């Protein structure tokens, strides 16, 4: 959109949505505090115990609005083939009029907040600027934490910087009816729509997370992935960590993992091996770009954590728990009798609490106290292990990329790709086994999630895979990051995890670091390079030879089945680059030797 049309666009959207008033957000602390206190007075939020959790608040959503709604998320490209087989598609000629009808008068009785923001450090060559219009003060406060937001961004946009227009409404106009604690629309009226050709985002009917914080999954992944395809960078669902050895040398590692695979835990890991240090640059999204030297670099477009609370504790993620001790927004957690937060997996379980539905809860209740998708929103600057490079507009040099999923068998603990093409193949086969917790008739089958991007690719998946191969053009193989497939979740025949995980994952990071330095060996196998027992630092671990062998076992029959299933997956996508089939054949041929 032409920047000169900014005021016209805001006026046009205000005329459509009919808010009572318009407020241009300045991003200040005073504005943030005022909006939160207004929500407390309106019975939409709880101020937590200032002695336990200073300057922190809890919100509680409607039970119908608790997570991203993928079946109501659309890539509305002009041509259906541009959205591809992995996206929900509606013709923009149909979707736009339908949504305009919903937006008509949607903000009656409310304030339209104008949020100027940028994804990425200000001044970064691939930073993306945006304006979000919303009628949710909850969204304003979360966007202030998650993005670089404020008057200075509006100044940059008004000076001529292109921006992505983002329109959002909770879909609950106050047209002669009282407000409710968490306004939202019925599921059939929820739409999270992306119009790639226009670089435009419209979201209606949900106030929760990635449905409403439009800088996050909508812009930083779905729309940015399409922009990156056109402009030569990649928007990826990846953590960025900084790994430093005892001698003070550092490397930056990216990691792509589906949900429930420990991405945030890895980004904020406390190593169990002396002298090694992990710092975080980001826990969720990485934008990858190439510099004139031909090497790949990354920036974190976000400025905060929107983390899953469930299972987070001082034992599992000390740094995350330290980050949220103050200045945090919690959503759908339980509240203890002393007005602090609680969720399942925390260090101590209260006898009584108020659950996320604001109902009395006791330790004997079968229902969980906190919603499984309960969240915390906190500034990245509160992370005790924050890397100083987190805000560097020049980005960080990528040494390695980890890919992985939750697999009880077949996939070894760590495997190094033979080259970049083989690594892209590894990323394409990623996935996790379907569990009983997921309502499905396919328990045990692998749900493929290439590079953990399946819900976030804003265009055809075949072009997404091709973009990975295109990124290496003009770069020497030795200058590209090495790619590793990791699997912390392999089990024995009793269903017990073979690897301790958490802080001990630093032992695998150490091997990867030293592989980059050329100081650590590995052995070639049909599926990639793996460490021998003597190649890993296992000091202090009670890992038997039998467990080690099982962690690195390559079962020929299981792998042939895996490759056959992967071939069928490629076929189901209609079309993928020939390079993926070539790598599949190479692995199969090595297995048959």
Q: Is residue 467 included in any domain, yes or no?
A: yes
Tokens 């490759």 identify what position?
Answer: 563
Query: DSSP H helical segments within 90-180, as ranges?
Result: 92-103, 137-146, 151-158
Question: CA end-to-end span of the chain, whole Å?
Answer: 57
Residue 519 to residue 435: CA distance in whole angstroms: 39
Q: Is residue 55 included in any domain, yes or no?
A: no
pLDDT at 176: 87
Q: 309 and 297, same structural domain?
A: no
For 550, the enclosing helix (H) or strand (E) is helix 545-551
Kindly report the CATH number assigned to the domain that includes residue 321.
2.170.8.10
Q: Is residue 61 included in any domain, yes or no?
A: no
Q: 357 and 409, same structural domain?
A: no
Residue-wise pLDDT for 290-342, tens only, equals 999 999 999 999 999 999 999 999 999 999 999 999 999 999 999 999 999 99
Residue 130 to residue 167: CA distance in whole angstroms: 10
Q: For residue 146, what are the β-bridge partners?
A: none
Q: 370 and 312, same structural domain?
A: yes
Whether the predicted pLDDT of 441 surpasses 90: no
- In the predicted model, what is the mean pLDDT of residues 257-267? 89
How many CB atoms within 10 Å of residue 42? 11
How many CB atoms within 10 Å of residue 50? 11
- The pLDDT mean for the chain works out to 96
pLDDT at 445: 83
Q: 196 and 135, same structural domain?
A: yes
Q: How many residues does the chain have?
A: 593
Residue-wise pLDDT for 573-583, tens only, equals 999 999 999 99
Q: The tokens of 148 are what?
A: 């670089």
- The band of 436, judged by pLDDT with boundaries at 50, 70 and 90, is very low
pLDDT at 68: 92
Q: For residue 378, what are the β-bridge partners?
A: 305
Q: Is residue 59 included in any domain, yes or no?
A: no
Q: Which three-class secondary structure string do you get for 392-419?
A: CCCCEEEEEEEEECCCCCCCCCEEECCC
Percent of the chain with pLDDT over 70: 98
Residue 17 catalytic? no
Kindly report the CATH number assigned to the domain that includes residue 245.
3.90.228.20
Residue 279 to residue 252: CA distance in whole angstroms: 9
Residue-wise pLDDT for 488-546, tens only, equals 999 999 999 999 999 999 999 999 999 999 999 999 999 999 999 999 999 999 999 99
Active-site residue among 17, 25, 166, 261? Answer: 261
Nearest in space to 145 (alpha carbons), one of 307, 257, 15, 309: 307
Positions of E strands within 496-583: 523-525, 528-530
- The band of 261, judged by pLDDT with boundaries at 50, 70 and 90, is confident
Q: 274 and 326, same structural domain?
A: no
Lowest-pLDDT range of 16-30, 220-234, 436-450, 567-581 = 436-450
Residue 133 to residue 25: CA distance in whole angstroms: 10
Residue 202 to residue 213: CA distance in whole angstroms: 11
Domain end, chosen from 339, 364, 382, is at 382
- The band of 443, judged by pLDDT with boundaries at 50, 70 and 90, is low
pLDDT at 291: 97
Nearest in space to 424 (alpha carbons), one of 553, 584, 215, 204: 584
Q: 39 and 84, same structural domain?
A: yes
Kindly report the CATH number assigned to the domain that includes residue 208.
3.40.449.10
- In the predicted model, what is the mean pLDDT of residues 251-280? 94
Domain end, chosen from 205, 232, 259, is at 232
Q: 354 and 280, same structural domain?
A: no
Q: 194 and 255, same structural domain?
A: no
For 287, the enclosing helix (H) or strand (E) is strand 286-290
Query: Is residue 397 within 8 Å of 295, Cβ to Cβ?
Result: yes
Nearest in space to 536 (alpha carbons), one of 385, 482, 547, 398: 547
Q: 474 and 339, same structural domain?
A: no
The three-point CA angle 226-227-229 to 5° equals: 65
Domain end, chosen from 382, 415, 450, is at 382
Q: For residue 416, what are the β-bridge partners?
A: 484, 529
Nearest in space to 433 (alpha carbons), one of 419, 412, 456, 449: 449
- The band of 262, judged by pLDDT with boundaries at 50, 70 and 90, is confident
pLDDT at 435: 54
Q: Is residue 57 included in any domain, yes or no?
A: no
| φ, ψ at 392 (rounded to 5°) | -80, 115
What are the CA-CA distances from residue 285 to residues 223, 238, 500 (Å)?
Answer: 13, 5, 26
For 318, the enclosing helix (H) or strand (E) is helix 318-323
pLDDT at 553: 97
pLDDT at 444: 64
Residue 149 to residue 303: CA distance in whole angstroms: 10
Residue-wise pLDDT for 364-405, tens only, equals 999 999 999 999 999 999 999 999 999 999 999 999 999 999
Cβ-proximal residues to 201 (8 Å cutoff; 6+ apart), any chain: 164, 165, 166, 167, 193, 194, 195, 214, 218, 219, 223
**Residue of 262 and 338 predicted with greater confidence:** 338
Q: Which three-class secondary structure string do you get for 405-466?
A: CCCCCCCCCEEECCCHHHHHHHHHCCEEECCCCCCCCCCCCEEECHHHCCCCCCCCHHHHHH
pLDDT at 391: 97
pLDDT at 260: 78
Q: 564 and 483, same structural domain?
A: yes
Q: 373 and 326, same structural domain?
A: yes
Cβ-proximal residues to 114 (8 Å cutoff; 6+ apart), any chain: 10, 22, 23, 24, 25, 131, 132, 133
Cβ-proximal residues to 134 (8 Å cutoff; 6+ apart), any chain: 112, 113, 115, 140, 168, 169, 212
Residue-wise pLDDT for 43-67, tens only, equals 999 999 999 999 999 999 999 999 9
Domain count, the chain: 3
Query: Is residue 391 within 8 Å of 121, Cβ to Cβ?
Result: yes
Whether the predicted pLDDT of 478 surpasses 70: yes
Please give the residue range of the domain that contains residue 193. 3-49+68-232
Residue 249 to residue 266: CA distance in whole angstroms: 19
Q: 570 and 502, same structural domain?
A: yes
345 conformational bin, left if phi > 0, alpha if psi -120 to 50, beta if neither: left
């Amino acid at each position: 959109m032409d920047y000169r049309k900014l005021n016209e666009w805001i006026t046009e959207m205000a005329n459509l949505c009919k808010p009572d008033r318009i407020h241009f957000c300045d991003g200040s602390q005073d504005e943030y505090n005022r909006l939160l206190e207004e929500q407390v007075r309106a019975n939409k939020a709880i101020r937590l115990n200032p002695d336990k959790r200073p300057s922190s608040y809890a919100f509680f959503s409607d039970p119908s609005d608790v997570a991203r709604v993928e079946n109501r998320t659309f890539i509305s490209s002009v041509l259906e083939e541009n959205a591809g087989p992995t996206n929900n598609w509606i013709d923009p000629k149909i979707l736009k009029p339908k949504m305009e009808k919903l937006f008509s008068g949607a903000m009656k009785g409310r304030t339209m907040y104008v949020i100027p923001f940028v994804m990425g450090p200000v001044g970064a060559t691939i930073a993306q600027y945006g304006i979000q219009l919303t009628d949710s003060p909850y969204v304003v406060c979360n966007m202030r934490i998650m993005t670089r937001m404020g008057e200075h961004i509006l100044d940059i946009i008004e000076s001529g910087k292109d921006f992505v227009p983002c329109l959002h409404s909770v879909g609950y106009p106050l047209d002669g009816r009282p407000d409710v604690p968490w306004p939202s629309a019925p599921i059939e009226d929820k739409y999270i729509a992306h119009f790639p050709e226009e670089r435009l985002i419209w979201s209606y009917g949900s106030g929760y997370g990635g449905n409403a914080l439009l800088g996050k999954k909508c812009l930083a992944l779905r729309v940015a992935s399409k922009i990156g395809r056109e402009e030569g960078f990649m928007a990826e669902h990846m953590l960025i960590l900084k790994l430093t050895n005892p001698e003070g040398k550092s490397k930056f590692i990216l990691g792509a993992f589906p949900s429930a695979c420990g991405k945030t835990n890895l980004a904020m890991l406390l190593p169990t091996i002396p002298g090694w240090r992990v710092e975080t640059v980001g826990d969720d999204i990485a934008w990858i770009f190439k510099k004139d030297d031909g090497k790949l670099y990354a920036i974190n477009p976000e400025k905060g954590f929107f983390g899953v609370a469930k299972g987070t504790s001082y034992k599992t993620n000390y740094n995350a728990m330290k980050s949220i001790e103050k200045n945090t927004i919690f959503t759908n957690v339980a509240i203890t009798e002393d007005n602090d937060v609680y969720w399942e997996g925390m260090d101590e379980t209260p006898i009584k609490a108020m659950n996320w539905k604001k109902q009395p809860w006791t330790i004997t209740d079968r229902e969980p106290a906190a919603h499984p998708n309960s969240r915390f929103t906190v500034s990245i600057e509160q992370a005790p292990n924050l890397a100083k490079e987190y805000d560097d507009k020049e980005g960080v040099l990528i040494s390695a990329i980890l890919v992985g999923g939750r697999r009880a068998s077949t996939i070894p603990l760590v495997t190094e790709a033979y080259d970049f093409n083989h690594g892209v193949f590894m990323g394409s086969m990623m996935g996790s086994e379907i569990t009983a917790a997921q309502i499905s008739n396919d328990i045990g089958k692998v749900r493929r999630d290439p590079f953990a991007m399946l819900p976030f690719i804003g265009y055809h998946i075949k072009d997404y895979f091709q973009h990975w191969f295109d990124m290496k053009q003009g770069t020497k193989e030795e200058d590209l990051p090495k790619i590793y497939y990791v699997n912390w979740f392999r089990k024995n025949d009793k269903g017990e995890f073979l690897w301790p995980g958490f802080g001990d994952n630093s032992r695998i990071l150490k091997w990867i670091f030293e592989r980059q330095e050329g100081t650590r060996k590995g052995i070639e196998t049909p599926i990639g390079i793996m460490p021998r027992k003597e190649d890993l630092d296992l000091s202090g671990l009670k890992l038997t030879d039998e467990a080690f062998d099982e962690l690195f076992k390559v079962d020929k029959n299981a792998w042939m089945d895996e490759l056959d299933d992967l071939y069928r997956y490629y076929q189901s996508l209609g079309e993928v680059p020939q390079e993926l089939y070539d790598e599949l054949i190479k692995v199969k041929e090595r297995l048959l030797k």
